[in-house]
Structure 1
Amino acid sequence: MKKLLLSILLIYTATLQAQQVIPLYTAAVPLALANGTVKEYTDSTRGIAYNVTAPTLTVFRPSGKAGRSAVIICPGGGYHCLMMQREGYIPAAWLASQGITAFVLSYRLPDSRIMTDKSKGPLTDVQAAIAYVKAHADQYHIDPEKTGVMGFSAGGHLASSAAVLSDNTANKPAFSVLIYPVISMSDSIGHRGSRDHLLGADTALYARFSTDLRVNSHTAPAYIIHSEEDKIVPVENSIYYYLALKKNHVPAAMQLYQQGDHGFVTGMQPAEWLPPVLQWMRLNGWN
């Protein structure tokens, strides 16, 4: 496993160094507290970001023949940190190699020390990212109607939140790709760490942020990947979301792996698990 991860990192390091990093906001950051004292930092060895206060987008543009699709990637980390390398840059670089423009979102992690409402901070950032990419579609040679989101774990919760809670075409994705996503905030199958970081003890918000309960006929279609052996985020999260999509006649596909614990795709080459996602995108006219 360690040798495989090292080889993947070496393959994509040079690609990452050539990418453009842009600030998500050019004016005041929404919901930000002026006297916030939290310092942002990155564990560069492991590619993990902590205490994000200044959201950014890292752009991976195709070097060869490009299509018109774009994917905004939300790394996971339990709303405590961001797995930028394994669940951001590596899949983004592979998508770019397949002609898809990818944007890795470094979103703010919910923290009452830096924002007025921590439950709204991450969602505000992903909606702003979607709006930015669509507004700059001509610059990146993409189609706003082929702009989707991808999220891992807690980032999957964020991506599904954008799919169900965005209320206008400017900040709503055309589709979502959810990899072992946190969906429910319930006691039975929810991921307690993600819930505690995002919502704290405010039980009144649990149903609002359980995205399987918020699905309707206008929810963005989804491709879902999960492992039946996941011990951190039970597979029922994905199953309940999928069933809610089907109940509301929203296009959806789900791939369940028999084996593999939480985060299992990060131990694989992107070419081993991402091609079916591209096939699904082509099937629906997004690639």
Structure 2
Amino acid sequence: MNMKLAFLLPALLLAFAHAPAGGAPFDPSALAALQPPAEHGAFHSGWISLGLKAADLKEKQVSPGHITDVGEAQIQLYFPAGWRPQDKRAALCIFPGGGYALQAIEKEGVRIARWAAEHGMVGVVVKYRVSGENNAIGMFPGPLLDARQALRVTRRHASALGVDPRRIGVIGFSAGGHLAAMAATLWNRTLPEEEDNPLKNVSARPDFSMLIYPVITMAPGTTHGGTRSKILGPDPTPALAELCSAERQVTAQTPPVFLVHALDDGVASANSRLMEQACREKGVPASLHFYPAGGHGYGMEKRGQPTDEWPEAAEEWLSERGILSSRETPCGNAPSGAGTAPGTRRE
């Protein structure tokens, strides 16, 4: 990092970190001043508070690259080489998995953000609130509030971040895939917890969603039991289970969906099938990629399995939809599928 960036990034972090609960807007002047030379490599910020805090937890590392007891929602921004604040790049909000009890923050967060930056996008790692001990942390609507706030902050400050506000998407893995699916289907649902949020009128709708070995449904027999227990709590009502079953919440306004699942995954591949079917019934473009083997939790690691191919399939899908191009495709604030090509399906 050059001296100019080393000086300006702390100012950016302070601007975010002192936002009160509810995510008050930060002064984007610190970001607007970031103008690295064209030859400058990729760079990233530190962790930035979203102003949403549930408890005074002490974050812990449970194993290398895995954290728990996250009591405050935060984001980390990854910028591509050659980034300028006047750019209009796509942005990717990233939700690591971990059953709403922990997060694979390195494999399914940081590495994905670096991949996004390598492909010209601004990567936004979202550290949403979870806990392995405090059962109230990780329950609905907490993680969804964090996801929506990350989308709103990115969109509200798109011009300072060098981001096209109509090309802001989500990607999630396992339980993070469930969170991304909720963000894509419940983006316009009124939540009383956001009543005093000064950003509540900023759209939280993702422009596209990428669900990688996701939990989708809360239906017993198909869902993942641990994930269901954490997000719904010990005694959920049928209405809450219905609300958190993403396939039951798909509408014509749901953004285009890219899905990846291995047939030998411990999280039933029927989850992705249910989502693809629901999208097809509502006219939402959906690209479903089933692989014969690969298991679960591989992120973008190459393990000598058929699932090794999915990042290339994702890049192709993003390119086909104009997300990786500089074109200002109006897919974000228009009905899903407007001005876009139909999705593909691979089995």
Partner residue in 1 for 2:82: 64
Whose RCO is larger (CA < 8 A, sep 6+)?
1
Aligned pairs for 1:194-205 within 5 A: 194-200=227-233, 201-204=235-238, 205=240
Q: Is it true that 1:50 corresponds to 2:68 in the alignment? A: yes
Aligned counterpart for 2:221 among listed residues 175, 188, 209: 188
Give the aligned length: 264
Please give the alpha-carbon distance, in whole angstroms, between the structure 2 residues aligned to 1:240 and 1:37.
38
Report the secondary structure of 1:25's partner residue: strand
Please give the alpha-carbon distance, in whole angstroms, between the structure 1 residues aligned to 2:308 and 2:110.
14
Please give the alpha-carbon distance, in whole angstroms, between the structure 2 residues aligned to 1:112 and 1:128.
24
Please give the alpha-carbon distance, in whole angstroms, between the structure 2 residues aligned to 1:138 and 1:208.
34
Deviation for aligned residue 1:100: 1.0
Please give the alpha-carbon distance, in whole angstroms, between the structure 1 residues aligned to 2:179 and 2:126.
11
Could you tell which deviates more after superposition, 55-64 or 160-169? 160-169
Distance 1:122 1:144, change over 3 A: same
Partner residue in 2 for 1:80: 101
1:187-235 Cα shifts (integer Å, max 9, x gaps): 110000001111122142111101001111111110001001112x100
Partner residue in 2 for 1:238: 272
TM-score (norm 1): 0.84
Please give the alpha-carbon distance, in whole angstroms, between the structure 1 residues aligned to 2:88 and 2:310.
20
Higher Cα radius of gyration = 2
Could you tell which deviates more after superposition, 198-207 or 122-131? 198-207
Partner residue in 2 for 1:158: 179
Unpaired runs of 5+ residues, structure 2, are 1-40, 189-200, 325-347
Partner residue in 2 for 1:275: 312
Report the secondary structure of 1:144's partner residue: strand
Partner residue in 1 for 2:212: 179
Q: 1:69–1:100: 8 Å Cα contact kept in structure 2?
A: yes
Q: 2:70 is aligned with what amino acid? A: V
Distance 1:264 1:22, change over 3 A: closer
Report the secondary structure of 1:133's partner residue: helix
Deviation for aligned residue 1:252: 1.0
Please give the alpha-carbon distance, in whole angstroms, between the structure 1 residues aligned to 2:224 and 2:123.
27
Q: 1:254 is aligned with what amino acid? A: L
Q: 1:108 is aligned with what amino acid? A: R
TM-score (norm 2): 0.70
Q: Percent identity?
A: 33
Deviation for aligned residue 1:42: 2.5
Aligned counterpart for 2:249 among listed residues 185, 204, 214: 214
Please give the alpha-carbon distance, in whole angstroms, between the structure 2 residues aligned to 1:169 and 1:214.
21
Which structure shows the higher helix fraction? Answer: 1
Report the secondary structure of 2:103's partner residue: strand
Q: Is it true that 1:25 corresponds to 2:50 in the alignment? A: yes
1:40-85 Cα shifts (integer Å, max 9, x gaps): 2234x61111010111111110013776111000000011100001
Partner residue in 1 for 2:112: 91
Q: 2:50 is aligned with what amino acid? A: Y
Q: Is it true that 1:120 corresponds to 2:141 in the alignment? A: yes
Please give the alpha-carbon distance, in whole angstroms, between the structure 1 residues aligned to 2:309 and 2:144.
30
Partner residue in 1 for 2:125: 104
